[in-house]
Structure 1
Amino acid sequence: MVATALTQVPAQFAQALTSLRAAALDAGIEVREVPAPSRAAAFAVALSGSLARAGAPDDEVADGTFVVLYDPPVTPVDDGVFRVIVLVRAELDEEMSGDPMLPEVAWDWMLEALEACPVEAVEPGGSVTRTITTSHGSVAGRPEEVELELRASWSSVDPAVGAFLTAWARVLRLFAGVPPLGVTLLDDRR
């Protein structure tokens, strides 16, 4: 998943890379390393992830990115700071897309996932956007599409950022409408 070499990087960033490699991800979530932003910090790693519809590996129902930025300590007493930046997005079904509380619920999913981490997320912030696409003219026959997108970031002094990757993967599942591991949905039969 993370191919960035551990040589020629500060010890704390190497620990962060090791933590990402060891992160527990739910089955079905595909993660791969992608080019990281080169100007945002001295050291960075970026991952792209997706979750496909069960039984249809080419049909993504949610995707996103996970980025860790690191600037080495400036003074001996400075621990250095990690900045985590995430994006999660999914196309919504018609029933969910009209829920006026959806942006607040999506943000709560992110906060709950972070609160479950053994590592503190310092000052999380972000936005949730619901986009409605309506086609016109020669493509007017296409069905309306609604996409939900969450962007969030937070800081951490702890290099155990793999816990945040696990939290991000949990939110990816929720955006896709897949229940958390260990939760079984009741069917509609009575």
Structure 2
Amino acid sequence: TKDHGFIFEVDGADPRRTGAVPLTAMGRFQHEAIAVDPKNGIVYETEDAFDRPFGLFYRFLPAKPLGGTGSLRAGGALEAMRVPGLPDLSVVQETGASFDRVEWVPVPDPLAAETPIRLQDFGRKGITHAQKLEGCYWGGSSVYFVSSFARSAEGSAADHYGQVWRYEPKKRRLTLVVVFGPDTDIQLPGESPDNICLAADGGL
């Protein structure tokens, strides 16, 4: 058997390209979605982990940025997001709450040969986790990503029915844009957001 949990690139414009080549440098974990910064080719990735310690938010720095179809096979560096002093995103319950000086920490073993990435040693400062990281979308100068829900009964530090986060790379700033659920500052219809898209008018 072969290891599973990799990203594959599909060329939708050329059906003759059928070779399934895992992009191993982009990490082996429970992938959900990606978004690409069109200016520099950095790829942001979400991890939909089912149990503690929950998933991470990643960025991949390609060795051949903006190199076109197939260039991601050249490899690159995988990093995980650390928000200083915030080990679990679920505890943030107020829309507009923001965190500056977000850090990106090299992933010790992207192939997760013996230990899942989210369980690996990221040093004494640790790393930032979140339950049910799902959709991811690039819009304007930011990347948006979703946490579908958090349940303290399943190991999260707090409960919510869904969060939408915005990360601004130039400012290294992470902001909670939307939160669903009880005991929050805003009550919105719906719950458990998943996929996400930014409309032309700026709506999510």
> TM-score by structure 2 length?
0.27
Structure with the higher fraction of residues in helix conformation = 1
The structure where strand makes up a greater share of residues is 1
- State which structure, 1 or 2, has the greater radius of gyration over its C-alpha atoms: 1
- Greater RCO (CA < 8 Å, at least 6 residues apart): 1
